[in-house]
Structure 1
Amino acid sequence: MAFDKNQFAEIIEEFKIDGTRLHEVAADFRYDLRQGLDDPSASSLRMLKSYVGLPTGEEKGEYLALDFGGTNVRVLRIRLDGHGKFEVLKKVAKPLRVEGVYDFVGEGSTAEQQFDFIAELVDEAIEGDHTTKYLLGHTFSFPSEQTDLYNAKLIIWTKEFATAGVEGKVVNDLLKEALHRQGIDNVEPTAVINDTVAVLLAAAYKQADTYIGSIYATGHNTCYFEPFKGKAERPMILNLESGGFMKLAPNRFDAEFDAQSEKPGEQRLEKMVSGRYMGELFGMAIAELLGEKGKKYGFTSIDMSNIILDETAGLSEVGRIVSAKTGHDLEEVDRQRLQEL
């Protein structure tokens, strides 16, 4: 079938932002940064303290790194050699949800199930060694209220997570309890940081004069090193939770998706730019073009990447992906248009 050219052009316009509007958004973002430093409640940026500064690049030793992201959990055993060098000795990674097999993030899942799953991955990373003492750094990519480097309490789930019994709890306590249940008392969780803070720390360890970290993956966030010049606070990295930035003008697809989401009215920037939502917004646009408004096809950000990267004759890969998801075969001209969308 063929798309309506005028309708296609109208949808493309929905997703365009001109230079003037971009400058306005940047100015609003800077304003919220300044407001947040004085009073976080007056800003749509959370300005969360990380209680950690920048590394020197000379840190050494063998440690465990747990990355609790939006899609997968990864556990790495890493040796830091100083001079910005390191070696990954062991890496274990598994998704938090496998359709029809298990689900540790949806409604009906519990904190105990989720963290027992994570503890099993930790055991894999240390290869069943329950004797050697390991310190574990926990990267947790969700908004948390932190009083020191250990105590990080989940404020609210984002990225459509709905696991019961985690919001309002200290995540390192939940992990420690799960490790103990499985007899892994030689692993001691010692620090919790946001994944965006971890990105900045990792980059700064390898390259000096790095002060900003940003993530565009399942979710979106930014952090930066704040010197707090002239203030009583000690210098540290601040986690902005910029996915919650609200001073934006969503298009009609953004507004419709937000209304149907797990948490309407929250994480506006994240819902407009991150991988968790791109495929769904893309699917909403295609549904209108196919005359099936409201139908959900299950496009993912991976599908979108493969559509954009397709260089086959006649864009056959684009056609295959769209046909598999929607049941419709597209003409070549429309496959070309989808690479623009």
Structure 2
Amino acid sequence: MKVIDDFFKRNNFDYKIDIEYASSILLEDMKKGLESNFETASSMDMIPLWKNLPDSVPKDKKVIIIDAGGTNFRAGLVYFDKKGVPEIISFFKHPMPAIDREMTNEEFFDSIAEYLEPLRDEAEVISFCFSYAVKIFPDGGGQAIKLSKEIKLPHIADCKINEGLLQALSRKNWTRVKKVIMVNDTAAVLQSGIFSETNEQRFDSHVGIVLGTGLNSAYIEYDKIEKLKDTEFYNKPQIIVCESGKSNKIPQSKFDKNLSENSNLKNEYFLERMCSGRYLGELCSIALRTGAAEGIFSPRANKMLLNSRNFSSEEISLFLKEQNHKKNIFSDIIDSGAVSADYVKIYFICKCVFERAARLSAAVIGAACIKTGKGKSPDRPICVSADGSMFLKGFLIKERIFKSLHTCLTEKKGIYFVLKTNDDAVTLGTALAAFLN
């Protein structure tokens, strides 16, 4: 496929990006984000949560959980029984507020309060997983730093999210809830790893990765954190949410720069746009239109691709999985009678976009594992808990990530890990967050 390779080179698109190289770049950015001058030194926020995992799980406790994500709003009630085994008693899902239209803060929190009505006063604590960059305070409160995933809340940074929800519940005459604890979704996924431990399998540390609508990672920092030097948490191990998707250190292709120019946050979340489900379909579409503009397809395909819509990540992933040249999302554009050159070129371009996303996601995880300094024995590996629609369902994403990590971490660096997924990772991790020290 020399035509495609030359096309990629002209557009600075490196789908075979070296994972060790990418990990080292991200690791350096992470280290700078923990320094005293972090606000100017790093493109990642490196948010401390002021908490570490507990020695034991809570017992005979209830907590209301909220998972406010990039697409869906989920809520439920979790009960830890007398042995500490969690049970999801009730659970429901709604569209995420402020996705389809702009909202004021009060409208946003009132919408959440309406969603929560079936759980009125079922527990004293709400654990609120807000899947965006949030500054977490030592008391468990939180304030939005920057919103990605095209959510429309222009003034959300002007308030504390936990206080805004408590005020909305008060307007709805709730009486029992005393506290709202904020947690990031990636930290929740990390925390869910504790439920994967058994007497036979103990972990040396934990890492969380969410690759869905967005991209983020979290890990446990064991060294002194210079930006916390004047606090009591300076020398205490704690969970750090990296905000990996904000990293701007990985070289961008012309496709990436085109995508950034049309984003609401064109000067931020560069890595997220290179990897996550919110953007991969559009990135493939941009690459295909660029190829058409350069004339790499047949005249008919060039003309039709130039005027084609943006395909979603799910559509592209399904196209790659099915490998059906006769009936697919591009059937109106390319000849369906045989495996044409146009089909092969389109398939290869889309496959390479997903390949790079998997490699960069593996680099994010690899950097977090290396930063823990743990996992030096196969008997006590690092537990990498992973979640997100792109990780779980994206074309060969999970498989490529595992293979890349095994080569980069275990074979080359002697760092052992296990990759865990749990359908209820965010729910269980969010519930556990309410009881962390």
Q: TM-score range by the shorter chain?
A: 0.7 to 0.9
1:160 maps to 2:162: no
Match among 3, 13, 16 for residue 14 of structure 2: 16
How far off is 1:293 after superposition?
Answer: 7.0
Mapping of residues 1-341 of structure 1, within 5 Å: 8-11=4-7, 15-18=13-16, 21-39=18-36, 40-41=38-39, 42-60=41-59, 61-81=61-81, 85-96=85-96, 104-105=98-99, 108-124=102-118, 126=119, 130-207=120-197, 208-209=202-203, 210-228=205-223, 232-288=234-290, 289=292, 290-291=302-303, 295=307, 297-310=309-322, 314-316=325-327, 319=328, 321-322=329-330, 328-331=333-336, 332-333=339-340, 334-340=342-348, 341=350
How far off is 1:106 after superposition?
Answer: 5.2
In 1: Cα distance, 2:323 partner to 2:249 partner: 38
Which SS does the other structure have where 1:302 is aligned? Answer: helix
Q: Residue 15 and residue 189 in structure 1: after superposition, are their counterparts in 2 closer, same or farther (change >3 A)?
A: farther
Q: Give the alignment's Cα RMSD to 1 decimal.
A: 2.7
In 2: Cα distance, 1:256 partner to 1:146 partner: 33
Deviates more, 1:229-238 or 1:40-49: 229-238
- Any conservation in 1 of the 2:71–2:99 contact (CA below 8 Å)? no
Q: Residue 265 and residue 54 in structure 1: after superposition, are their counterparts in 2 closer, same or farther (change >3 A)?
A: same
Q: Residue 296 and residue 237 in structure 1: after superposition, are their counterparts in 2 closer, same or farther (change >3 A)?
A: farther
How far off is 1:108 after superposition?
Answer: 3.1
In 2: Cα distance, 1:90 partner to 1:304 partner: 34
- Any conservation in 2 of the 1:243–1:270 contact (CA below 8 Å)? yes
Q: Residue 150 and residue 58 in structure 1: after superposition, are their counterparts in 2 closer, same or farther (change >3 A)?
A: closer
- Any conservation in 2 of the 1:149–1:192 contact (CA below 8 Å)? no
**Unpaired runs of 5+ in structure 1?**
97-102
**Unpaired runs of 5+ in structure 2?**
293-301, 351-437
Q: Residue 337 and residue 238 in structure 1: after superposition, are their counterparts in 2 closer, same or farther (change >3 A)?
A: same
Q: Residue 51 and residue 336 in structure 1: after superposition, are their counterparts in 2 closer, same or farther (change >3 A)?
A: same
- Any conservation in 1 of the 2:305–2:333 contact (CA below 8 Å)? no
Deviates more, 1:47-56 or 1:184-193: 184-193
TM-score computed with the length of structure 2 as normaliser? 0.66
In 2: Cα distance, 1:205 partner to 1:22 partner: 30
In 2: Cα distance, 1:83 partner to 1:199 partner: 22
Partner of 1:100: none
Give aligned pairs, total: 319
- Any conservation in 2 of the 1:44–1:246 contact (CA below 8 Å)? yes
Which SS does the other structure have where 2:180 is aligned? Answer: strand
- Any conservation in 2 of the 1:175–1:189 contact (CA below 8 Å)? no
TM-score computed with the length of structure 1 as normaliser? 0.83
In 2: Cα distance, 1:67 partner to 1:131 partner: 18
Which SS does the other structure have where 1:211 is aligned? Answer: strand
Could you say which structure has the greater relative contact order, defined with CA pairs below 8 angstroms and 6 or more residues apart? 2
Which AA in structure 1 matches 2:28? Answer: Y
In 1: Cα distance, 2:67 partner to 2:308 partner: 31
Q: Residue 9 and residue 140 in structure 1: after superposition, are their counterparts in 2 closer, same or farther (change >3 A)?
A: same
- Any conservation in 2 of the 1:57–1:204 contact (CA below 8 Å)? no
Which AA in structure 2 matches 1:260? Answer: N
Q: Residue 254 and residue 295 in structure 1: after superposition, are their counterparts in 2 closer, same or farther (change >3 A)?
A: farther
Deviates more, 1:278-287 or 1:70-79: 278-287
In 2: Cα distance, 1:53 partner to 1:264 partner: 34
Which SS does the other structure have where 1:91 is aligned? Answer: strand
Deviates more, 1:181-190 or 1:148-157: 181-190
How far off is 1:107 after superposition?
Answer: 5.5
Q: Residue 188 and residue 304 in structure 1: after superposition, are their counterparts in 2 closer, same or farther (change >3 A)?
A: farther
How far off is 1:52 after superposition?
Answer: 1.9
Which SS does the other structure have where 2:330 is aligned? Answer: helix
How far off is 1:76 after superposition?
Answer: 1.8
Partner of 1:99: none
How far off is 1:163 after superposition?
Answer: 1.5
Which AA in structure 2 matches 1:43? Answer: S
